[in-house]
Amino acid sequence: MTVLTQKVMAHLQAIYHEGQTEQQIDQLTATLIETMRITEFAADVVPYQNHWSQQDVIMITYGDSIVCDDERPLVTLSKFIDSYFAGINGVHILPFFPYSSDDGFAVIDYSSVNEALGNWSDISSIASKRRLMSDLVINHCSSRSLWFQNFIEGKGVGHDYFYTAELDDDISKVVRPRTSPLLRETPTANGIKQVWCTFSHDQVDFDFNNPQVLIEFVKIIRHYLDVGVNIFRLDAVAFLWKKLASPSINLPQTHEVVRLLRTLIEHAQHDAMLITETNIPNSQNLTYFGNANEAHCIYNFSLPPLLINTLITGSCLYLKRWLMSMPPARDGTTYFNFIASHDGVGLRPAEGLLEQDELATLISTMEQFGGQISCRTTDDGQQKPYEMNIALFDALQGTTAGKDELGLQRFICAHAIMLGLEGIPGIYIHSLLGTRNDYLKLANTSHNRAINRHRWDYNQLVEQLAHPESLHHIVLKKMTELINIRTAQKAFHPNATQFTLHLGLKLFGFWRQSRDRNQSIFCISNISNQVQLFNVNELNLITDQTWFDLLSPLKIEDVNQEITLEPYQTVWITNHE
């Protein structure tokens, strides 16, 4: 028995310790290894390897965020990336499969590319030039899928893939991010069934108690590896395993499934990665690192609300407190940092980190800046704000006192902070382009998240980017400069040392040191709308080295000198280019 076989078998025994015989576990182990095409001679995975560096930056986009007449959107996207985002070496294309709702997250067919976007050749072409992240929508699929139609008919592939409950079952403790009823009444050939729907009644949840569902997803993973996918984003994975009379979130079997998938993926392609999308309180989110044997990366979901709060209040109290509490990621794992995405700014990850009055002020300020607030239903039936839906540029157009003229500076400051932090940065395409709230799309769809899902016409966008005075030109130029500087610094390796600096509440700072200890960078941002003076002696710089700012012509001539930081200015003071 190989080491891999022993590992997979141990995972499966932990997942299916009830309901599966030893012989069934043996057969399932063999099936999964064969499905992933891992030979018995495959070398064992070297643990705690980092398959990333400071050069990794991932752009997040829909396949049709930019469209051009008479051209497949994936071809347009690839052309645009090559022309304007050359310094970005990774791209996360949000679900590019046939779907029925939720802008792609209700997948009809996992084996096909949405014809409205392109084909598998287009996907492979993008993957040949950059690391490609793809969603693995593993918790649920579309109610219009063939699998669910077979469930309704009671025969064929998928007829036993979905989780059901009874109306009198105890589901009172179930944690959900939506307000719709959990159970969907569905007439089937076998009578009325109550189908579990964590998100919407068009998104029907899988039943991983059935090992055949696991086999199906391993087949999907193998297919995606074959077409060039290198990073797998496990969408909504926290809800994967269900159990009555429980919260049905973050259950032990869910963590074990993640561990199993990591084992299989690493042995099939050693540098492939798993990233867990778990929009939950920070302490729960961190558990998806496991012991460096679950997710390679976890989304740093607490960063967006805390950073926005910092910049609109002019106080880094909560952001600094959070950063000091974050454990350094072990080798083989790292954080995925982002401050904007296709979804809204989640508020659950701020639970326990921001005071209630601070949250209330944050929410009301975003509403003043044109944002929408989405709610979820709590255990006691109350409606509670779940996320803020707003374009990041608009979210940073002012402070709690109202809008001002420093929005661009505030926006760039947010990204300078994010790009310096421990972890891999992910940047939403609309942040790179300075896209504003899309009120027309919001009105046409009545979906709050549509406000931050603008679709650009290629020619109009290119025209905007050609004008030096255009906001979109200015934002892309400044963002490109930041990214190019960041990717050249060894101290910004995702696993380089990080310590929080204590510089008061108006200056947010942290220190990064390269893994070879040759480079230090002190990242200091004025997060207020007033000029701040800062004495360099607070950094205890080594006096026999030359120190300078990577973002400006500033040189440190005297380790006791005082420097002036303009509102929302960031300096990256280093001793080594």
- Residue 130 counted as an annotated binding residue: no
Write the CA distances from 433 to 84, 263, 470, integer angstroms: 10, 38, 10
pTM: 0.96
pLDDT in tens, 420-465: 999 999 999 999 999 999 999 999 999 999 999 999 999 999 999 9
- Tens digits of residue pLDDT in 148-188: 999 999 999 999 999 999 999 999 999 988 888 999 999 99
Largest CA distance in the chain: 81
CA distance 255 to 99: 27
3-class secondary-structure state, position 275: strand
pLDDT at 41 > cutoff 70? no
Taking the CB of residue 5, how many other CB atoms lie within 10 A of it?
16
Task: Centre a 10 Å sphere on the Cβ of residue 81 and count the other Cβ atoms it contains.
Answer: 19
Q: Which has the closest alpha carbon to 200: 239, 257, 255?
A: 239
Q: Give the tokens for residue 276.
A: 């867990």
Within a domain: residue 524? Answer: yes
SS3 138: coil
The torsion angle over the Cα atoms of residues 215, 144, 247 and 220, rounded to 10 degrees, is 20
- Predicted confidence at residue 557, as pLDDT, reads 87
Q: For residue 216, what are the CA distances in angstroms to 35, 219, 221?
A: 9, 5, 9
Q: How far is CA 426 from CA 90, 217, 230, 337, 391, in A?
A: 9, 26, 15, 6, 16
Span 532-555, pLDDT tens digits? 999 999 998 888 788 999 999 999
pLDDT of residue 545: 84
Average pLDDT, the chain: 95
Question: Could you give the angle at which helices 73-84 and 458-466 cross, rounded to 10 degrees?
Answer: 10
In a domain? residue 267: no
Give a yes or no: residue 290 inside a domain: no
Q: In the predicted model, is pLDDT for residue 353 greater than 70?
A: yes
- Per-residue pLDDT band for 279 (boundaries 50, 70, 90) equals confident
- Tell me: is residue 103 an annotated ligand-binding position: no
Q: 553 is in which domain, residue-wise?
A: 497-574
CATH of the domain at 560: 2.60.40.1180
Bridge partners (DSSP) listed for residue 335: 298
pLDDT digits (tens, 9 = 90+) for 322-338: 999 999 999 999 999 99
φ and ψ at 494, to 5 degrees?
A: -55, -25
C-alpha–C-alpha distance, residues 339 and 413, integer Å: 12
Predicted confidence at residue 42, as pLDDT, reads 67
Residue 149 lies in a domain: no
Active site residue 235: yes
In a domain, 503, yes or no: yes
549 is in an annotated binding site: no
Tokens 């969408």, located at residue: 235
Q: Tell which phi-psi region holds residue 540, choosing left (phi > 0), alpha (psi between -120 and 50) or beta.
A: left
Q: Is 566 inside a domain boundary?
A: yes
pLDDT at 576: 78
The letter for the amino acid at 359 is: L
Does the annotation flag 235 for ligand binding? yes
- The C-alpha atoms of residue 371 and residue 347 are separated, in whole angstroms, by 14
* 295: its two tokens: 């997710």
What's at 513, amino acid-wise?
A: Q
Q: What is the mean pLDDT of residues 490-517?
A: 97
Tokens 């030893």 correspond to what residue?
22
Is 380 assigned a ligand-binding role in the annotation? Answer: no
* In contact, 551 and 545? CB cutoff 8 Å: no
- CA–CA separation, 190 vs 163, rounded Å? 15
The single-letter code of the amino acid at 171 is I
List the catalytic residue out of 64, 135, 235, 438: 235
Q: What percent of the chain stands above pLDDT 70?
A: 99
CA 284, distance to chain mean position in Å, is: 15
Rounded to 5 degrees, what angle do the CA atoms 143, 438, 411 make? 115
Report if residue 42 sits inside a domain: no
Tens of pLDDT along 198-216?
Answer: 999 999 999 999 999 999 9
Is 436 one of the annotated binding-site residues?
Answer: no
Residues in CB range of 10: below 8 A, 6 or more apart: none
Q: What is the pLDDT of residues 52-106, one digit of tens each?
A: 999 999 999 999 999 999 999 999 999 999 999 988 999 999 999 999 999 999 9
pLDDT tops 80 at residue 381:
no
393: exposed, middle or buried (C-beta count within 10 Å: 0-12, 13-18, 19+)? buried
102 annotated binding-site participant: yes
- Cα(261)–Cα(295) distance, integer angstroms: 9
Residue 523 lies in a domain: yes
What does the pLDDT read at residue 43?
Answer: 67
- Looking at the structure of the chain, the number of domains it has is 1
